[in-house]
A and B are shown apart, each in its own frame.
Chain A
Amino acid sequence: MVEAVQISCPVAHAVRVQSITSESPGVASYRLRSLDPILDDSFRWLPGQFNVIDVPNLGEVASNISDFDAATCTWTHTIRNAGQAAAEWERVRVGTLMNLRGPFGNGWPIESCQGHDVVLLAGGLGLTALQSAIEAIISQRLLFGRVSLIYGARTPGDLLFAGKLDRWMRHKIDVSTTVDRAAAGWRGSIGAVPMLLDRLRLAAPTNTAVLTSGPEVMMRYALRSALERGVRSRLVWLSLERCMQCVAGSSLELGR
């Protein structure tokens, strides 16, 4: 007999869109403020966990928590609002009411990465899943070895969080960006994320943790490259939040 699996399913909470900030063409950060006084003191989350947002006329969207401000009980979610659902997102304005459930997923194993070099591999919107991990690392930077971020986007205009990338570099995160295609004038890197990983000097591959989030194909080849270079599978973590529809889990450990 199969034992029933108990899945924690938080109740929905009402939120109001407080602000919308365009991050790049087709991507915006939505600040959502809780209208629920009970939630204010009880919401606990881990970097890498996600909420499910019930968007009017669209349905439920799983989205990583970019930030949560406990003082104001406000979440930030960075979401692609173009493509097939552009019309529904167009109707979402400051003041729009929504429902939100969460947090879901396991979160990044930040404590397990302490004492290790850390390589963060992000593709496109995958950076939104890793930014909370980066902030957590920065908040206790001395507990980690060398930390490198390789971040790929479609074009230079699609690179997210330019200001944050600069700030992360000031906190001794080695940031490398790359794009798939670039117009004249771009003097940065062009090429896929796994190529930059191939070039990255790993001082101690067996003591290096890899966290990755982005399109699944990118993650597959990036992880192949990491494992070929001696990174141990038990120190490799990936986020599959994009595939989640049942909200039963998020970050999976490759080695298990």
Chain B
Amino acid sequence: MVQELLRQKLKDISFSASLPEHVLRQIAAASKITDFPAGAVMFREGDENHNLYLICSGSVALEMSAPDLGCVRVLTLGAGDMVAWSAMLGRGEMSTTAVIDEDTQAISISAPHLLEICEEHQEVGFQIMRRMAQSLCRRLVATRLQLLDLFSDETAAVNKR
């Protein structure tokens, strides 16, 4: 019953919506649904975290500490977004603090378990890593757009006389 609910939730999330059924079932087996109340901390910068999260609903803010600036919010994530992707790579040391902005429901996937599945069923692994790459690519483009500071000087074209 729980597995079926997880499979359905995975199907509702853009990250995993188009994955084949057998892949969804495998991921569901390594997952659980976690509810975070507003104000809770999902993980802190520097923590070791071994869960990958897919947000079903709610909002999560990512914060980074910087000298003289303190804790700075750099990004907010919402339904369909992936959080703590670095759990799938290396030691899983978190580069940001994730603070729950609004009550959030997420699918929490054990990264070591998911990596085992990827190793064992390489076609499944390819599908999952491909989704992760697509998601990170979007995140990278969005970060570049923020860095470009597009709205800093939106002066209209002027025809000088």
A interface residues (Cβ-Cβ under 8 A, vs B):
52, 58-63, 79-80, 83-85, 123-125, 152-154, 158, 178, 180-182, 184, 186-196, 198-199, 214-215, 217-218, 221, 225, 241-245
User: Is there contact, CB below 8 Å, between A180 and B155?
Assistant: no
Known: A182-B73, A194-B138, A218-B150. A242 touches B79 (CB 8 A): no
Given the complex of chains A and B, what is the CA–CA distance between A196 and B138 in angstroms?
A: 11
Known: A182-B73, A190-B75, A194-B138. A80 touches B154 (CB 8 A): yes
Partner among B70, B142, B148 whose Cβ is within 8 Å of the Cβ of A195: B142
User: Is there contact, CB below 8 Å, between A186 and B73?
Assistant: yes
Closest residue of B by beta carbon distance from A88? B158
User: Is there contact, CB below 8 Å, between A244 and B157?
Assistant: yes
Cβ contacts under 8 Å, A245 to chain B: 157, 159
B interface residues (Cβ-Cβ under 8 A, vs A):
14, 59, 61, 70-71, 73-81, 101, 138-139, 141-143, 145-146, 148-161
Given the complex of chains A and B, what is the CA–CA distance between A184 and B63 in angstroms?
A: 11
Instruction: Tell me if B's interface is mostly helix, strand, loop or mixed.
Output: mixed
Instruction: Tell me if A's interface is mostly helix, strand, loop or mixed.
Output: mixed
Given the complex of chains A and B, what is the CA–CA distance between A111 and B105 in angstroms?
A: 40
Partner among B70, B141, B150, B156 whose Cβ is within 8 Å of the Cβ of A123: B150
Known: A62-B156, A245-B159. A190 touches B73 (CB 8 A): yes
Q: Which of A188, A192, A214 has the most CB of B within 10 A?
A: A192
User: Is there contact, CB below 8 Å, between B154 and A59?
Assistant: no
Partner among B61, B146, B154 whose Cβ is within 8 Å of the Cβ of A124: B154
Given the complex of chains A and B, what is the CA–CA distance between A221 and B140 in angstroms?
A: 12
Total cross-chain contacts (CB, 8 A)? 110
User: Is there contact, CB below 8 Å, between A180 and B146?
Assistant: yes
Cβ contacts under 8 Å, B153 to chain A: 80, 83-84
Q: List 28 A-B contacts (CB under 8 A).
A: A52-B159, A59-B158, A60-B159, A61-B159, A62-B157, A79-B156, A80-B155, A85-B155, A123-B150, A180-B146, A180-B149, A189-B78, A192-B142, A193-B145, A194-B142, A195-B139, A198-B80, A198-B138, A199-B80, A199-B81, A214-B150, A215-B154, A217-B145, A217-B150, A218-B150, A221-B141, A221-B145, A243-B157
Cβ contacts under 8 Å, B142 to chain A: 191-192, 194-195
Given the complex of chains A and B, what is the CA–CA distance between A250 and B139 in angstroms?
A: 31
Closest residue of A by beta carbon distance from B81? A199
Known: A198-B14, A198-B138, A242-B154. A59 touches B160 (CB 8 A): yes
Known: A79-B156, A199-B79, A217-B145. A190 touches B61 (CB 8 A): yes
Given the complex of chains A and B, what is the CA–CA distance between A210 and B59 in angstroms?
A: 25
Given the complex of chains A and B, what is the CA–CA distance between A234 and B59 in angstroms?
A: 33
Given the complex of chains A and B, what is the CA–CA distance between A242 and B155 in angstroms?
A: 8
Given the complex of chains A and B, what is the CA–CA distance between A152 and B78 in angstroms?
A: 16
User: Is there contact, CB below 8 Å, between B151 and A215?
Assistant: yes
Cβ contacts under 8 Å, A184 to chain B: 70-71, 73
Closest residue of A by beta carbon distance from B146? A180
Q: How far is the CB of B85 from chain A (nearest CB, A)?
A: 15
Given the complex of chains A and B, what is the CA–CA distance between A198 and B73 in angstroms?
A: 20
Known: A190-B76, A218-B145. A63 touches B156 (CB 8 A): yes
Given the complex of chains A and B, what is the CA–CA distance between A58 and B159 in angstroms?
A: 8
Closest residue of B by beta carbon distance from A125? B154
User: Is there contact, CB below 8 Å, between B145 and A192?
Assistant: yes
Known: A189-B59, A190-B75. A215 touches B159 (CB 8 A): no
Cβ contacts under 8 Å, B154 to chain A: 80, 124-125, 215, 242
Given the complex of chains A and B, what is the CA–CA distance between A80 and B154 in angstroms?
A: 7
Beyond the given A124-B150, A190-B74, A191-B146, could you list 19 further A-B residue pairs with CB under 8 A, ordered by the A residue number?
A80-B154, A80-B155, A85-B158, A123-B151, A158-B151, A180-B149, A184-B73, A189-B76, A190-B61, A198-B138, A199-B81, A215-B154, A217-B145, A217-B150, A241-B156, A242-B156, A242-B157, A244-B157, A245-B159
